[in-house]
Amino acid sequence: MTIQLNTDKSLTIHQEYETKIQTQITDALSRFNDLITRLEVHLSDENGSKDGLDDKRCLLEAKIAGKEPIAVTNFGDTYDLAITGALTKMKSALEKVAGKMKSH
């Protein structure tokens, strides 16, 4: 599984944080390695430099061989919370796809 990290102009990610994110994603979605060919991570701050609740957004898009891509979005007070919530949603969506593939 290839992981591509994208951010908006208001966010600069240091190498250590990027490595942490990739490790977190790899660990969370490891059982779907054979299903996902590529995972795109889009991080953005919905209101720029202003403070706000749940203004950090994480969009995960999983490309699956032979199927339509799956995308989930989650908002959080921090990027870590947004990523964790998006991973939970993605696991649920991938379990449904994997279950459908096994039953056919």
Contacts of 20 (CB under 8 A, 6+ apart): none
**Helix, strand or coil, per DSSP, at residue 75:** strand
- From its phi and psi, is residue 13 left (phi > 0), alpha (psi between -120 and 50) or beta? beta
Which domains, and CATH codes, for the chain?
A: 2-103 (3.30.160.100)
Q: Which two tokens stand for residue 17?
A: 């944080």
Distance of CA 34 to the CA centre of its chain: 17
- pLDDT computed for residue 48 by the predictor: 67
- pLDDT computed for residue 13 by the predictor: 87
Q: Give the number of other CB atoms < 10 A from CB of residue 74.
A: 20
pLDDT tens track of the chain, all 104 residues?
899 999 988 788 899 999 999 999 999 999 999 899 999 999 998 876 666 677 899 999 999 988 899 999 999 999 999 999 999 999 999 999 888 877 65
Query: Which pTM was predicted?
Result: 0.88
- Distance CA(67)–CA(50), nearest Å, equals 39
- pLDDT computed for residue 28 by the predictor: 96
